[in-house]
Structure 1
Amino acid sequence: MKFVCLVVLLLACVYGHPWYANLIPNGDNLPNPCKPGERWHGVGHTNPSGGLARNKFGLDLKAANFTWTKELCEKDSDGDGSSNGEELGDPNCTWKQGEKPYRTTDITHPGQ
């Protein structure tokens, strides 16, 4: 039984939390700004695979209780002059979880 618990725990640590991508518009379509053509699966983290340190967007998402709010949408977490919503395809801040975002192309990273 201890072995099974250990395996489950290790898998959880390695696999991460991919469901976080469902909490924001285009969360599963986030480009890697350092490697064109690749995806950034670690939404809200400094590492493309997730885990460890959070980037500014990840800190803001946590502060919003992991909820896509109008305030989080309108915020410019990475200070690049574009709101999180503009970067993630929700420029009007109307996206709700489970809906298709307003825009699914030209998505940029709100935390890098």
Structure 2
Amino acid sequence: MKYFSTNKQSPIADFMEATVKGQAPDRGLYFPEKIPQLSDSFIADLKNKPNSEIAFEVIKPYVGSTIPDEELFSIVSETVNFDFPLVKVSDSVYTLELFHGPTLAFKDVG
């Protein structure tokens, strides 16, 4: 996948360049050229999948062939190795607790 700068004054970057640099030379943020859509079957089966598998399938299109699948899955499995529970607040309201990671911040999840 390719990434463009939100300021649109920098060359297109690949995953590795966008990740390592973090910010484009024109001081814009790198943004993917497209947002991949998750399949209906994937969404329907979320409750049956471990967090590491969900994270792998979500990030895989953004990484492309930059990191081999086996290595990417290993990285994701080592990184997303904690629970982030969905807690029922009321009959039709749930909250996803994103503060259970190693730094106790939402950024540990996504």
**TM-score (ref. length: structure 1):** 0.30
Between 1 and 2, higher relative CO (CA 8 Å, sep ≥ 6) is seen in 1
Higher helix share: 2
Q: Report which of the two structures shows the higher radius of gyration computed on alpha carbons.
A: 2
**TM-score (ref. length: structure 2):** 0.30
Higher strand share: 2
